[in-house]
Chain A
């Protein structure tokens, strides 16, 4: 069964600290993995997209890693800011089909001043 599991479910850190969010997947055959940021009551916004051959991709203070062998990805946030408070969603796509896009349930990140 195609699944995407994220951990932790929620996380609270102090402003300025770093954090790492995890994503494990069993989606097969793998096509790509994306991380989205979703502010409360808004639509998700793409942070990174990674294909099988990529194992690191950065977008400002966000760095995503991918280990296709262990089927794990992480999103590292450096020097967190209050505006980083949001849900972070891992999305894995299988094949080239719109119906094979599996969403994780997200990690709710709260940044405290």
Chain B
């Protein structure tokens, strides 16, 4: 099956710990994105990558880091510097920038 896979679905983290969210796609898409979704708000862009080994900050990149070593993978690390990390995180991919995006099923991160 072609698609985009996020794991894990639920994640709990203690304050002060870094945690990495996985995102893998087998759609052969060049562009990948990470969004954060909070209740009552639109999705906000954290980081995006339009090609392997290159990525750019989105609107709310502080406290997050990413890598794009392989075309199919775009992991997101939530660092201890992120002040309010509890949220629903969505990964997406598209053939190119600004074409239709396909979303993963999301990871709900809770800081305890």
Contact = CB atoms under 8 A, between A and B. Distances in A.
Given A49-B100, A104-B42, A105-B41, A42 B58 contact: no
Is chain B's interface secondary structure helix, strand, loop, or mixed overall?
strand
Interface size range of chain A in the complex: 20 to 34
Contact of A89 (B42, B45, B50): B42
B64 to A, nearest CB: 15
A43 B35 CA distance: 11
A97 B98 contact: yes
Nearest to A102: B42
Contact of A41 (B6, B98, B104, B106): B106
A78 B42 CA distance: 25
A45 interface: yes
Given A41-B108, A43-B103, A98 B98 contact: yes
Nearest to B104: A43
Interface in A6-21: 9
B33 interface: yes
Nearest to A31: B98
Interface of A: 4, 9, 31-32, 34, 36, 41-46, 49, 89, 93, 95-106
19 contacts: A4-B42, A9-B40, A31-B98, A34-B100, A36-B103, A41-B88, A43-B6, A43-B105, A44-B43, A44-B103, A89-B42, A93-B98, A96-B96, A97-B97, A98-B33, A99-B58, A100-B98, A103-B35, A105-B40
